[in-house]
Chains A and B, each alone.
Chain A
């Protein structure tokens, strides 16, 4: 195959509209003449599709899309039936009026005709208005899935939400711990989902309304490209986000609203103060508080699903706890530690996660029988410990999970059992070079333990037992609970997250690449 034909094929696979008409004619002729070329093209197109199905964020759960299409078609049938019923009602009314007037002998025929014509005109107008109105005003979305305590509030009345319930303008969803829901907008298939504690109101009466008031809670939207003049909008106590067509996460507490744009563009606007606004683009966040609208690159976390705690250390040592409504979980400093812009610096001291948050980590991971820990860290250049504790979770004498450094190696012990307590042997996760930022991700779930260092798998083995033997205790970063500093880990930690599910290889690679690109040397 010549280079020229190669190039045509590669450009065609890359973009079906990339070839000029002359090039397309030439390429078509080559295809006619060569079965081999046809096979190679089909190979490339099929492989392209298979990879898309696995990696593209919007290609998942195709069966659910088919089911929804069928239900939408059924729903349209129901709506048409209602319109038809209205038409029949009008016809019946006109017919009854005709009978009534026809019986009245003292009513002149001329007057009778005028009245009947008026009725017919009124019925026709009512029919048109009813049809148009019915088409313009109606449900805005439909619940696709509901788990846990999700309540639908309408006209002051509250019912337990169920899948396939319609959502109308004026409705509200109230949710508490353990709740999860997803809905699909009627007109364009945009998705909106939420977890945990939340209060979400839907405003606007028209079927194409996509205006959401997020009083508090955490929602994720996967919005199709929005029609001009009718974008999806989020309102929170502090700000407004206008969505053009994107995938985003919007979180609101009583003090702060934060928008992370995973894909696309969203206009974020302050509702108080100077009313300033910012266009937040892919991979960036906007954060509105009482006094400002700040933006930056979203380094962390890249994925909220299954996230229990995460820490972005922007001048403060705080973790975000995601059990009920998102709340701050304090990191209690001990000894020689310091919170710097974008990192925690540990020089022989340690941080302790607040007891409530520490217990929540154990409880959530134990319930899910899965845990992942993710760290972005840089050991000190001259750091060569015999043994130093990087992270420990659980009772002091028998941690549920412990990660420590020995020379330049990172080791871990994960406690699992079968009804009675048992400890697994330590395993070597890999090497973390001193003086250099590294990404460490450990994932346990489905009976398997996997570790990734800088996006590359360094360990994968079956891991018997489960997390039923886990106990509440301490969550320590940098040293053991009773550590005196002699075995403390020294270096910097840029980010830390704990999940109640196993991270995938793609997440580990993606997160490492983003952190590596965005971290200042």
Chain B
């Protein structure tokens, strides 16, 4: 392997990492494994860059690598019902959603930050507990005197709400 980490590759990583990581997560890879898989994707690309056809854009090539690595991970997994996880991964790889369209935009981070600032105290608290403190829904429920199911529903609605807010924000800014 060539010992180099040139500007072009670094630019590629910086310019595509949000979308590639989101793509991997969108195939059903667990959050704590997404970055490991994403690193493998870029390493694989770096090692075999010469194999990319000239008419295939680098990001599309990266997604192809990501798809294969995700499916391989499901196949190698010792988890129970791995066949179902693999099947879900294959279906999700072909699916297109509003969030995918948002991620393809350039100002997705800015839009998300802007929408996060519009949340009320309770919503902030819920996100902080789930994503920053990495508490399970059951633990959050105990802290907030609620039920795990209610917490999952609230998080589901919060994610959908943020998606809609980001969609509106990006549409306003024509990004």
Q: Looking at chain A's contact residues, is the secondary structure mostly helix, strand, loop, or mixed?
A: helix
Nearest-neighbor residue (CB-CB) of A70 within chain B: B5
Q: In the bound complex, what is the Cα–Cα distance between A386 and B84 (angstroms)?
A: 69
Contact flag A67-B92 (CB < 8 Å), given A10-B156, A53-B21: no
Q: In the bound complex, what is the Cα–Cα distance between A484 and B92 (angstroms)?
A: 71
The answer to whether B49 has its CB under 8 Å from any CB of chain A is no
Contacts of A19 in B (CB 8 A): 81
Contact B134 A56 (CB under 8 A): yes
Mark each residue of chain A from 4 to 24: 1 if its CB lies under 8 Å from any CB of chain B, else 0.
001101110111110101001
Contact B128 A510 (CB under 8 A): yes
Contact B160 A77 (CB under 8 A): no
Q: Which of A482-518 contact B (CB under 8 A)?
A: 505-506, 509-510, 513
Q: In the bound complex, what is the Cα–Cα distance between A65 and B84 (angstroms)?
A: 31
Contact A457 B117 (CB under 8 A): yes
Contact A28 B128 (CB under 8 A): no
Q: From A36-44, A307-315, A423-431, give the one contacting chain B.
A: A36-44
Contact B98 A43 (CB under 8 A): yes
Contact B39 A65 (CB under 8 A): yes
Q: In the bound complex, what is the Cα–Cα distance between A59 and B14 (angstroms)?
A: 14
The answer to whether A74 has its CB under 8 Å from any CB of chain B is yes
The answer to whether A73 has its CB under 8 Å from any CB of chain B is yes
Contacts of A42 in B (CB 8 A): 26, 92, 95-97, 99-100
The answer to whether A31 has its CB under 8 Å from any CB of chain B is yes
The answer to whether B71 has its CB under 8 Å from any CB of chain A is no
Q: In the bound complex, what is the Cα–Cα distance between A43 and B162 (angstroms)?
A: 11
Q: Which of B49-103 contact A (CB under 8 A)?
A: 79-81, 84-85, 87-88, 91-92, 95-100, 103
A to B CB contacts below 8 Å, 12 in the list: A16-B28, A16-B30, A21-B84, A28-B88, A44-B160, A51-B162, A52-B31, A54-B112, A55-B132, A56-B131, A69-B42, A74-B1
The answer to whether B116 has its CB under 8 Å from any CB of chain A is yes
Contact B84 A24 (CB under 8 A): yes
Q: Which of B22-40 contact A (CB under 8 A)?
A: 22, 24-28, 30-31, 34-35, 38-39
Contact flag A50-B108 (CB < 8 Å), given A32-B91, A55-B131: yes
Contacts of B131 in A (CB 8 A): 51-52, 54-56
The answer to whether A71 has its CB under 8 Å from any CB of chain B is yes
Interface centre among A39, A45, A62 (most CB of B within 10 A): A45
- Give the bracket for the number of chain B residues in contact with chain A: 35 or more
On chain A, the number of residues with a Cβ less than 8 Å from chain B's Cβ atoms is 61
Nearest-neighbor residue (CB-CB) of B162 within chain A: A47
Contact B26 A455 (CB under 8 A): no
Contact B156 A13 (CB under 8 A): yes
Contact flag A456-B121 (CB < 8 Å), given A25-B81, A48-B31, A56-B132: yes
Nearest-neighbor residue (CB-CB) of B103 within chain A: A46
The answer to whether B125 has its CB under 8 Å from any CB of chain A is yes
Q: In the bound complex, what is the Cα–Cα distance between A47 and B155 (angstroms)?
A: 11
Q: In the bound complex, what is the Cα–Cα distance between A444 and B16 (angstroms)?
A: 32
Specify which of A6, A9, A45, A70 is in contact with B26 (CB 8 Å cutoff): A45
List chain A positions with a Cβ less than 8 A from chain B. Answer: 6-7, 9-11, 13-17, 19, 21, 24-25, 27-28, 31-32, 35, 38-57, 59, 62-63, 65-67, 69-71, 73-74, 77, 263, 282, 455-457, 505-506, 509-510, 513
Q: In the bound complex, what is the Cα–Cα distance between A356 and B136 (angstroms)?
A: 47
Contact A63 B84 (CB under 8 A): no
The answer to whether B175 has its CB under 8 Å from any CB of chain A is no
Q: In the bound complex, what is the Cα–Cα distance between A45 and B17 (angstroms)?
A: 16
Distance between B51 CB and nearest chain A CB, rounded to angstroms: 18
Contacts of B127 in A (CB 8 A): 51, 55
The answer to whether B107 has its CB under 8 Å from any CB of chain A is no
Interchain residue pairs A-B with the least CB separation, the first 5: A49-B25, A46-B99, A55-B131, A47-B159, A42-B97
Contact flag A10-B132 (CB < 8 Å), given A48-B31, A63-B17: no
Contact A513 B97 (CB under 8 A): no
Specify which of B34, B95, B121, B156 is in contact with A49 (CB 8 Å cutoff): B34
Contact A14 B155 (CB under 8 A): yes
Contacts of A513 in B (CB 8 A): 125, 128
Q: In the bound complex, what is the Cα–Cα distance between A263 and B24 (angstroms)?
A: 26
Contact A43 B132 (CB under 8 A): no
Contacts of A263 in B (CB 8 A): 133-134
